[in-house]
Amino acid sequence: MTTRNWRKLAACVLFISTASPVVAALSKSEMQMVRTVDAERARSIELLRTLVETNSGSRNIAGVTRVGEMMRAEFEPLGFKVKWVPMEKAGRAGHIVATHKGNGRGKRLLLIGHLDTVFEPDSPFQTWTVKGDKAEGPGAGDDKGGMVVMIAALRAMKAAGTLAGADIEVVLTGDEEDAGDPIEIARADLIAAGKRADVALDYEGLVRDNGRDMGSIARRSSNSWILRATGKTGHSSGIFSDKAGYGAIYELARIIDRFRRELPETNLTYNVGLIAGGATQSTDAEGIRATATGKTNIIAPLAEARGDLRTLSDEQTERARTKMKAIVADHLPGTGATIEFPAGGYPAMAPTPGNKAILDRLNIVNRDMGLPEMPVLDPLKRGAGDVSFVAKDVDSFAGMGPYSTGDHAPGETVDLTSVPLQAKRAAILMSRLSAERRAR
Residue 104 · residue 168 · CB < 8 Å: no
Average pLDDT over residues 144-169: 98
Closest CA relative to residue 114, chosen from 187, 46, 203: 203
d(CA 182, CA 187): 9
Rounded to an integer, what distance in angstroms lies between the CA atom of residue 309 and that of residue 317? 8
- Given this model, what pLDDT does residue 440 score? 67
What band does 4 get if pLDDT is binned at 50, 70 and 90?
A: very low
pLDDT at 337 over 60: yes
3-state secondary structure of 100: strand
pLDDT digits (tens, 9 = 90+) for 74-114: 999 999 999 999 999 999 999 999 999 999 999 999 999 99
What's the pLDDT at 237? 97
- The pLDDT of residue 5 is 46
β-bridge pairing 208-209 and 199-202: unpaired
**23 pLDDT more than 50:** no
Give the C-alpha separation, 227 to 223, whole Å: 14
Per the model's pLDDT, the better-predicted residue between 9 and 367 turns out to be 367
Write out pLDDT tens, residues 312-328.
999 999 999 999 999 99
Task: Outline where DSSP puts E strands in 259-331.
Answer: 269-278, 280-283, 290-293, 302-310
Q: What whole-number percentage of the chain has pLDDT above 90?
A: 92
Considering only residues 236 and 17, tell me which one the structure prediction assigns the higher pLDDT: 236
Q: Is the pTM of this model over 0.85?
A: yes
DSSP letter string, 44-86 = HHHHHHHHHTS--BTT-HHHHHHHHHHHHHHHGGGT-EEEEEE
**Given this model, what pLDDT does residue 428 score?**
98
For the chain, the helix, strand and coil percentages under 3-state DSSP, each to the nearest 5: 40, 25, 35
Helix runs in 225-265, H state only = 247-262
pLDDT the model gives residue 8: 42
Per residue in 391-439, pLDDT tens?
A: 999 999 999 999 999 999 999 999 999 999 999 999 999 999 999 999 8
pLDDT digits (tens, 9 = 90+) for 268-323: 999 999 999 999 999 999 898 999 999 999 999 999 999 999 999 999 999 999 99
CATH class of 21-219+348-435: alpha beta
Give percent of the chain above pLDDT 70.
94
Cβ atoms of 200 and 112 closer than 8 Å: yes
228 by Cβ neighbours in 10 Å (0-12 / 13-18 / 19+) ranks as buried
Distance CA 419, CA 356 (A): 23
For the chain, what is the mean pLDDT? 94
Q: State the average pLDDT over residues 360-375.
A: 97
> According to the model, what pLDDT value does residue 18 have?
36
Q: Is the pLDDT of residue 155 over 50?
A: yes
CATH 3.30.70.270 fits 223-340, yes or no: no
**What residues does each domain of the chain span?**
21-219+348-435, 223-340
Instruction: Give the confidence band of 343 by pLDDT, cuts at 50, 70, 90.
Output: confident
pLDDT for 276 equals 98
Range of weakest confidence among 6-20, 233-247, 326-340, 384-398: 6-20
Over the stretch 188-218, which tens digit does the pLDDT of each residue have? 999 999 999 999 999 999 999 999 999 999 9
Residue 7 is predicted with a pLDDT of: 41
Q: How far is CA 214 from CA 95, 381, 420, 422, in A?
A: 29, 10, 17, 12
d(CA 304, CA 252): 7
Amino acid at the residue 166: A
